Structure 1
Amino acid sequence: MIEKPNELPNVAQVDPFLGNAESDLPSPEGIAATWWCAKPPVGNTHPGASLPFGMVSACAYSGAYVTGYGRYGLSLSGDSPPVMYGEKEALGIAHFQQSGTGRIRMYYNYLLTTPLVDGYLEARTERQKLVDERAWPGFYGGRFEKSGIRFEVVATEKGVRHRYDFPTGVEPGVVVDLSAGGLLIDEMRTYPQWAEVDILEDGSICGQVLMEGIPIKFRCHCEGAEAFLWEEDDEIDSQGYVLSLERQKNRPAFGFGFRAEGVSRLELSFGFSLRSYERAKMATESSLSLEEAAIAAAAKWEDVLTKIEVSGGTKEQQEIFKTAVYHSCLKPADFSDENPFSAKDGPFFFDLSTLWDAYKTQLPLMMTLWPERGSAFVEFLCEVAEREGGFPVSYLMDNVPDRFTKQATGLCHAILEDARCRGIEADWDRVLALLWKTSQSGKGRKGRFGEYARSFLATPLSHTLDISYAHFCMARMARSLGHQVIHDKAAALSVHWRNAFDPETGLLREDSTYYEGENWNYSFRFLHEMSERIGLAGGAKSFVSLLDKFFGFSEAGHGERLFRFEGLNNEPDMEAPYAYIYAGRHDRTAKVVRRVMQCQFTTGIGGLPGNDDSGGLSSWYAWSACGLFPVCGQAVILIGSPLFDTAVFHLRSGDFRVVAEDNSTDNIFIKEAYLNNRKINRGWLKMSEFMAGGELRLVMSAKASDFATEALPPSFAP
C-alpha cells in the first residue's frame, strides 16, 4: 500500500476530502447568524486524483450529484441536499470530473472502471460500500467492502494509473464501460454518440469514444493480462468493434483478466488524447512504478503549494489554507496540444465551468503565481474568439460553447485586462482587436453587447454592469496601447452602469431577475467609477449604511425590502466585504472578512459553506487569509485583515511578504501599515507595488483606528 508522503510538508497539510459533504460549520456568531444560503450548503468537491490544472482526474463513482462522487441527489435550493444513497457507495473508478460546481449539464465521468471477482461481469452494475478511503494531492485510494478489493489511483500527465489488490484465491479482472457518462440522475446522463475499440498486438487496448461531440482517444495497458471485449454480457471478437447510435443500449466494454493462479494484483495504465492514438499511447509509457508515480505527482503539487507560504494561525487554519490553494489549482484543466477543433498544438483549456465566480479570485491567483500559465490562458482565449467569433463565458469538454449566457457577459474583457495589469506576456494589440471586434460585430452585436449599445441597458441588469465594465477594460487596454479611437468609443460606453441603479434606493433596480441572488447581492460589486457609485447611493455615509444592513450590522428600515449577504454560500457578492474600503471604513471590512473565515470555513468533509465552483470559493479564502484581495481588471490590490502572522507570495520579480504584527483572534484591525518600511495610510496597493515584490507590514490592534479613512482606492473615470 502506498504511503502518504509526509516528507512533503505542504502536501501533507492538504485534505482532498474537505468540502465533499454537506456543510458542518462552526455556529454562526454575530452578523454571520443573519446571512443566508441561496444554494445547497455543500462544497461539491471530490477527493479524486489529479495533477495541478490537470487534464485528467480519477475518482470513485456512485453517480451522485454533482461530481459523480458521494451520496447526494439533485439539489438547487439553499436547503440540505437530498440523500441519494444511505451510505457512501461506488460502482468503480471514473475519469474526468468537475470540481465543486453546481448544475452545469456536463458531468463527464467517462470510462467507468470496475474490478471483477472471478470474471463476474455483472459487478459493473452492483454498487458497493466504499470504505478505507485515503487521498492526498495526486493520489486517491480505498476499498470496496463487499468484494474486499483495494484500489489505488495516481494521476499522471494526460493519464491515470490504477492498481487493484484482490482477496486471496479469486481470479482478478477489470471491466471498463465505454457507455458510462454523466450522473445516475434523470437528464444528467451522458451517452456515447460513437465509439470504436480494438485489442492491439501487445495486448493493450486502444479506441475512442465520442462524448458530447468530443473524440476521446485512449490507450489502456495491463502488463501480463489477457484483454477482452464485451457487448452487454457477451464476449465479442476483438477486431475493430464499432458502436453505432442504434446500439448504445448494448453497453460496450473492454477489460483485462488473469487466469493464472497466484496473481492477486492488477495494474492498469490509461492514456488519453483528443487528437491521436499515438499521444494516448505515449501517455501510458513510463518506467516508474506506481509508488514512484505517486511520489512524482505529489512533488508536482508540492511545487505548486509552496508558491504561497504562511506562518502563524492554528493547525486547522493551516490545513484549511493549504487545501484552499489546492482546490484553487485544480481548474481550468490544461489540455495543451489537445485542441480537438483546430488540431493544432498550443495552449488549450477546458472546464471553465463557473467563470463568473473564478474570474474574481481564482484566475487572478493563477496569473499572479504562474505568469507563464497566464500567457497560455490568454492565447487560448484568443484562439477561441478567432475560431468561434466570441469570447466564452464558459468552456466545457463539448462542442457547444457558451452554455451559460444567462449568468454573465463579457467576463473575458476583465480577465484579459487583469492579465495585462499583472504583466502577463501576450500580443496585446491582437487581444484588443479581438475584444473590440467580437463586442461590436457578430455574436456581440446580436447579443447583449448589441442590446447595450442600442439602449445603454442590458437585461438581466447585472449584465449592464458586466458590459459597462467590459468597455472600461477595453478603454484602459486601448489607452495603454495607444489606440485612441477604440479608447474613446469604449470609454463613452463604459458609463451606463448607472442605468441599472435606482437613485431612490442607491441599489440595483428591483425590476429584474438576478442569477442565484437578489438585487442586494449584486449591488456592491466593484465598478470602475466607485466614487460615482457611492455618490449615487447618497455619499459615503449612506453607502456604509446600506452595507451595514446587508451584512447584518443594522436592520432594514420600515417597509424596506432587504436581502442579506450570502456568506460565501454563493459568490455573486464575494467581493462585497471589501466595498467598505472605498467608503473609508476599513474596520468594517476587517470585521466581515474575519467573521467569514471564522464561521464559514472549517476542516473536514463539511468544511465549505457552498459550492467551491472550480476554486472560486477557495481562492477567496486563500487571498483573504493572506490579508489581500484582487480587483479583477484594475491595477489594484485591496488590503484586508490577514489571518496569518506572515504570508509570502513567491512572484516572478521577487517575494512579496505580508507581516501582521500583534495579530490574534481579537486584534483584527490595522493600526498602522508600512510598505517597504515606509508608512502608508491607505487600504490598497498598486499592482506594480505588489508584483515587484517587497514587504507590507501591518500593526494589528483590537481597536478600530483611522487607518485608510481618507486615502481611498482609485476611482477610474472614463
Structure 2
Amino acid sequence: MHFRITAIAIVLTLMACGSSDHKDDLDDVMNEDASPETAADIQTDSDVEVIEDSSNDDADVTPGDELDTAEPDADVDDTVQPGHDEPPLVRWVDPFIGTGGALGNVGNTLPGATAPLGLVKVSPDTRDRYGAPAFQHCAGYRYEDEYIYAFSHTHLHGTGVPDYGNIRVMPVDIMTEEMTSRFGAKSTFSHDDEVATAGYYAVTLDNPSVRVEMTATTRCAHHRYTFLGEGSTNTIILDPAATLDDGISRGGAVTIDEDKVEGWNWVHGAFSGRFDGFPLYFSMQFLQKPIASGTWLNRVLAPGSNEVSTDEHKANYGAWFEFDTSASPVVEFKVCLSTVSIEGSKGNMADEMPDWDFEGIKAQTQDAWEREMALFETVGGTAEEKINFYTAVYHTLQMPTIWNDVDGQFQGFKNTVGQADGTYYTDMSFWDTFRTQHPLLTLVWPERQRDMMRSLVWMVEMGGYVPKWPMAAGDTGSMIGQHSASVAADTWIKGVRDFDMDKLYPALRETADGPLPPGSYGGRDGIAAYLELGYVPADVRDTSVSKTVEYAFNDYCMAQLAKELGHNEDYDRYMERSGYYVNVWDSETGFFRGRNADGSWIERFEPEEFNFSGGEYTEGSAWQWLWFVPHDESGLRELFGGDAPFLERLSFFFDKFAETFNFELPGSYYFHGNEPDLHAPYLFIRAGRPDLTQKWVRHILDTNYKPTFEGLVGNDDAGTLAAWYVFSAIGLYPWPCFPGYYITTPIFDEVTVHLPGGDLKIEAQGASQGLRYIRSATFNGQALNELWIEHDKIVDGGLLVLMLDENPHTQINDGPQ
C-alpha cells in the first residue's frame, strides 16, 4: 500500500459522516475473545433472575407506527424451540455486533435498550484504563473496555463523531465528591454477565455489586437495579450535564420532590456544539422513596438540598438518591425525555410508562421489534447469515431519531417549537444514508420516509435552509455534497409524495444554484467556482475532486426532481451540470484528479494514497473515487475507452481488494468500511458482466460482516452498511435518483418482504447451498431481459424468480438507461 505514514493511524480520523475534528489519541487495543451472549446463556449470582428473551409476532399493529404502549398479547410458549426459518425472528438480533473493533473496523453501534427509531437509546458508556478515545466511543460503548462509567439515555448510532450521552445515571455505594466527575463512578464488569437483546440490556457491575437491567419505549427508559452486596444502603447518581467526549453543559436545573425528579440541561456536544446545542428536558420517578437525597454544583455536595440550577458554561451539577436496600435490594425508576419542556417529558411518561411493569414494557418493545423483523421472512441461509441479516434490519432502524413528544410538539431549528403532523425526525446522516438506508425506508417503510421528508420541510420553515447533516435541533454541516437533494428527489420519483415539495424545492434550488448568505447552513462548499469553472478548484477548496463529482450527481438528482415538477428550464440546466464530472478527468492517468483554477493539474498524485482529511479526496483514495458517477455509467465507461477497458480496471480494483484486504484497516482499493465506492460492485452489470457483480457482492457479504462484536469493517454510519447488507442479501440494490433496483443473487433460497402495497417474494433456489450465478430471471411469470427492475413494478408486491447456476452467465447485462 502507498499510504502516507500517518494514514496507518486509522483511529485518528473520523470516517464517514464524521467530523473534520480528528483526534490524536490512540487507545491500546484489547483482544478479548468473549462473545456476546443471549439472555438464556447467562448464569447469575445468588437469586437474581434474568428474564429470558421472548416476543410475539401476532400483535395487530401496523408496521411503521411508533411504539404502541398497549399491553402485549399472551405469552408465547417458549418451551417449544422455533424452527430455523420460523418466528420469533427477533431472536436473531445481536446488538453487540459492531460495538467493538481494534483500528478502522469500529462500528460504533450501541448494545443498549432501544425502540425502533426511538429518542431514548439507554445504553452503557465505557472506557478502558487509559480513557475513552473519541473515535472508538462515538456511541459511548466499546466492547473491549473494562469499565462502565455511566448509563446514559441518548446516543447516536454508528457515526464517526461522538455526541449525546445525556442524562447519566449510575449506581454507587455512597456519594462522594469524586462521583461528580465524568469517570468518578466507573465500575469493572464482565461480558459473562452481560445481555443485550432488542429492547433490553443487562449487566452486573462489580463495584458496587449490582445487577443493572434496562428496557425502553420511544421516549422513556425503565431501570431495575438489584444490589447484591452486603451493604444496607445504596445510591443512584443523576448527572444531567453528562455528554460524550468533549461535550459540555451550558446550564440546567434539577428539582427533587420526594420520589419525583425533574429538570433540564442545555447540551453543547462535540457535534451539536456546531449550532450551539439544544435543550433536553427530563422527568424521573422512583418506585421507592429515597431515604436521603442531595444535589451538587461544581463538585460541591449539598446533602438534603432539593434543587440546583446554573447557567454556567461547562456546568457541573446533579443530584443523588440514597435507598434502604436491606429489606429489598431492588431499586426501580423511570426516566422520560422531551425536547420541548418538562411538562412534555411528564406527558411522555404518562403515555408510554404509566405503570410499574418492567417485564410488560420489555415484552412490548420486543414485540415492536418482532413486527419489524417479520416484514422480512427468509428461508434458508446459515445461522450466521440470519444473525447478520436481522441485526442489519435492527441497525437500519436506530436512526433517524423520533424527536417529537407524544402530543406532536418538538424542538426545531433556531430554538423554535413546532407541532408535527405525524412524526418529526432528526439525526439524518444524508452523505451516508442516501445510498442505501433511505432507499430501504422508502421501499419498506414509506410512511416513515414521508415523515422524514416532512421533517426536512419543517427544518426549512424554521431555519430558512435545507440542512446537510441535521442533528437534534440544528445542522452540523458535516461532510460534503447536497444529499438532502439526493434523498428528496429519490423519495419523490419513487412515488412517496405526501409532503410539501412546493416549500422544499425552492430551498433545494437555492442551495444548488449559488453561495448562500452569511448565517445560513447546508450550502455547497466551493459552489461559486463550480458554477464558473465547471469544477471545484483544488487551490480554492480541499477535497475538490470529491466535491466536484458529488455536485454533478446532486445536479442529476435535482434535474430528475425538476422534471417531475415540470420545471423544464431547471431540468436542462441541472442536466448540463451533471456532466461536470468530466472536467476533473485526467485522460493521461485515467483518474479524476485535483485541478487548479487555472486549469493545471495538481502535480503530486498518488492514486493509492488514502486521504483521511484534506487533499483532493474525501475519506478515500483516487481509486475509490474513480467510480462515483452513478448517474452516468455509460459516460464513465466512455472515459475509460469502452466496456472492455472499464471492466479490466474495475476487475483489477476488486482483485486488489481481495488480495490486500485487512478487516481492521482501510485499503487503497475497494473499502466497504466507508461510503464512496459502496455501489462499485454493481457497476459490472451494465458493463456486460453481471456474474462479477454476483461474485463480488457475495464475497463482500461473506467477508466484510461477521456476527461478532468487531463484526463491521467500519462505522455503520446511521445504518448505511446495515441497509447495504439487507438489500444485497435479498438480491436487490437501489440506485438513487433512478426509480429502480439492480438484481443480484440473494443469500437466501426465499425472501418475502411484506411491503405496504403487497408481498414481494424473491425465490432463488440453491442460493443458500452455494449457487451464486443467475442464468435467468422472471417477474410475475414474465422473463426479464436485464438485471434491473423498476420500483413501481415491485412496490405493490410480486414474484421475482431467479434461476441459479454454478457457472457464470453474462447474457442478462443491462440496467437503467
Structure 2 matches for 1:515-594, cutoff 5 A? 515-552=618-655, 564-594=668-698
Indicate the larger mover: 376-385 or 257-266: 257-266
Choose from 203, 207, 230 the match for 1:142.
203
Distance 2:287 2:135 in 1: 43
TM-score (norm 1): 0.88
Partner of 2:82: none
In structure 2, give the amino acid aligned to 1:97.
H
| 2:467 corresponds to which of 367, 372, 392 | 392
Which residue of structure 1 aligns with residue 282 of structure 2?
218
Q: 1:481 maps to what in 2?
A: 565
In structure 1, distance between residues paired with 2:388 and 2:311: 48
Matched, 1:331 2:405: no
The reply on whether 1:130 has 2:189 as its aligned counterpart is: yes
Aligned to 1:193: 250
Instruction: Tell me, yes or no, if structure 1 residue 242 matches structure 2 residue 309.
Output: yes
Per-residue deviation at 1:136? 0.7
Partners in 2 of 1:426 and 1:279 — Cα distance?
Answer: 26
Does the CA-based 8 Å contact 1:118-1:170 persist in structure 2? Answer: no
1:90 aligns with 2:148: yes
Structure 1: gaps of 5 or more residues = 24-38, 77-82, 184-188, 557-561
Would you say 1:155 and 2:222 are equivalent positions? no
Distance 1:224 1:430, change over 3 A: same
Displacement of 1:214 after TM fit? Answer: 0.8
Query: How far apart, in 2, do the equivalents of 1:144 and 1:553 lie?
Result: 46
Alignment of 1:44-193 (within 5 A): 44-63=108-127, 73-74=133-134, 87-102=145-160, 104=161, 106-119=162-175, 122=178, 125-131=184-190, 132-167=193-228, 168-183=230-245, 189-193=246-250
Q: Does 1:43 align with 2:100?
A: no
Measured in 2, the distance between the counterparts of 1:246 and 1:316 equals: 49
Mapped partners of 1:71, 1:704: distance in 2: 51
CA positional deviation for 1:430:
3.1
1:559 matched residue in structure 2: none
TM-score, with normalisation over the residues of structure 2? 0.78
Q: For residues 86 and 453 of structure 1, do their structure 2 counterparts lie closer, same or farther at Cα, with a shift above 3 Å needed?
A: closer
Query: Deviation at 1:239?
Result: 5.2
Name the structure 1 match of 2:487: 415
Cα 1:580–1:371 change in 2 (3 A) is same
Alignment-derived partner of residue 263 in structure 1: 328
Alignment partner, residue 47 of structure 2: none
TM-fit CA distance, 1:518: 0.7
Cα drift, residue 605 of structure 1:
1.1
Q: Please state how far the C-alpha of 1:701 moved relative to its aligned partner.
A: 0.8
What SS is found at the alignment partner of 1:275? coil
Q: Distance in 1 between matches of 2:427 and 2:212?
A: 27
Quote the Cα distance in structure 2 between the aligned partners of 1:16 and 1:415: 27
* Fraction of identical pairs, as percent: 26
Asked whether the equivalents of residues 172 and 266 of structure 1 are also in contact (C-alpha less than 8 Å), the reply is no
Please give the per-residue CA displacement for 1:298-355, whole angstroms capped at 9, x wherever unaligned. Answer: 1111111112221111111111100011011101111133224320111432322x43
1:117 to partner: Cα distance:
2.1
* Residues 1:4 and 2:53 are matched in the alignment: yes
One-letter code aligned to 2:89: N
Secondary structure of the corresponding residue to residue 429 of structure 1: helix
- Bigger CA drift: 599-608 or 523-532? 523-532
Distance 1:509 1:244, change over 3 A: same
Question: Structure 2: which amino acid aligns with 1:175?
Answer: I
Q: Secondary structure at the match of 1:461?
A: helix
Q: Which residue of 2 aligns with 1:34?
A: none
User: Would the aligned equivalents of 1:338 and 1:345 in 2 still touch at CA under 8 Å?
Assistant: yes
Matched to 2:529, the amino acid is: E
Unaligned segments of structure 2, at least 5 residues: 1-49, 56-75, 77-86, 269-276, 595-601, 603-614, 660-665
Q: Structure 1 residues 263 and 684 mapped into 2: Cα distance closer, same or farther (>3 Å)?
A: same
Residue 92 of structure 2 aligns with which residue?
Answer: 13
Mapped partners of 2:551, 2:128: distance in 1:
37
Larger displacement relative to structure 2 (314-323 or 476-485): 476-485
**1:457 maps onto 2:506 in alignment:** no
Given that residues 553 and 629 in structure 2 are in contact (C-alpha distance below 8 angstroms), is that contact kept between their aligned partners in structure 1? no
Residues 119 and 171 in structure 1, CA contact (< 8 A), matched pair in contact too: no
- Equivalent in the alignment of 2:815: 713
2:112–2:196 CA contact under 8 A, matched in 1: yes
Match of 2:507 among 416, 434, 437: 434
Question: What secondary structure is seen at the aligned counterpart in 2 of 1:697?
Answer: strand
Matched with 2:375 is 307
Which of 513, 528, 536 is equivalent to 2:616? Answer: 513
Distance verdict in 2 for CA 1:205–1:698, change over 3 Å: same
Retained in 2: the 8 A contact 1:505–1:537?
A: no
SS in 2 for 1:245: coil
Q: Deviations over 1:135-164 (max 9, x none)?
A: 111111111023210011111221111111
Return the offset for 1:573. 0.9
> What SS does the aligned partner of 2:242 have?
coil
Q: In structure 2, do the counterparts of structure 1 residues 602 and 359 end up closer, same or farther at CA, with 3 Å as the change threshold?
A: same
Look up the SS of the partner of 1:324 in the other structure: helix
Matches of 2:443 and 2:765, distance apart in 1: 25
Rounded to whole Å, the distance in 1 between the matches of 2:314 and 2:465 is 37
| Partner SS, residue 94 of structure 2 | coil
Residues 427-448 of structure 1: CA distance to partner in whole angstroms, max 9, x if unpaired?
A: 3333322221332352588843
Query: Which residue is 2:30 aligned to?
Result: none
Would you say how many aligned residue pairs link Structure 1 and Structure 2? 669
- Higher RCO (CA 8 Å, separation ≥ 6 residues): 1
Residue 8 of structure 2 corresponds to which residue in structure 1? Answer: none
CA deviation profile, 1:348-389 (whole Å, cap 9, x unmatched): 32322x432221011111121111111111111122233334
Q: Residues 640 and 564 of structure 1: is their aligned pair in 2 closer, same or farther, counting only changes over 3 Å?
A: farther
**3-state secondary structure, aligned to 1:696:** strand
Q: Please, which of 285, 289, 313 is the counterpart of residue 357 of structure 2?
A: 289
- Partners in 2 of 1:388 and 1:500 — Cα distance? 34
Task: Tell me how far 1:496 sits from its aligned partner.
Answer: 1.2
AA aligned to 1:269 is: K
Matching residue of 1:274: 339
- The answer to whether the Cα contact below 8 Å between 1:42 and 1:611 also exists between their aligned partners in 2 is yes
Shift of 1:522: 1.4
The answer (yes or no) to whether the contact 2:485–2:508 under 8 Å persists in 1 is yes
Note if contact 1:137-1:298 (Cα within 8 Å) is conserved in structure 2: yes
Q: CA RMSD in A?
A: 2.6
> How many angstroms apart in 2 are the aligned matches of 1:278 and 1:74?
34
SS in 2 for 1:258: strand
* CA distance in structure 1 between the partners assigned to 2:674 and 2:805 by the alignment: 31
C-alpha displacement of 1:708:
1.7
Q: Kindly state the Cα deviation for residue 276 of structure 1 after the two structures are TM-superposed.
A: 1.3
Decide whether aligned partners of structure 1 residues 196 and 146 sit closer, same or farther in structure 2, where only a CA change above 3 A counts: closer
Q: Which runs of 4+ in 1 moved over 6 A?
A: 83-86, 553-556
Listed one character per residue, the Cα deviations across residues 484-522 of structure 1 (whole Å, up to 9, x for unaligned) are: 232232223222121122233443225452111111111
Q: CA, structure 1 residues 87+435, in 2 after alignment: closer, same or farther (shift >3 Å)? A: closer
State the one-letter code of the partner of 1:540: D
Give the equivalent residue in structure 1 for 2:727: 623
In structure 2, what is the equivalent of residue 33 of structure 1?
none
Q: Matched residue of 1:649: which SS?
A: strand
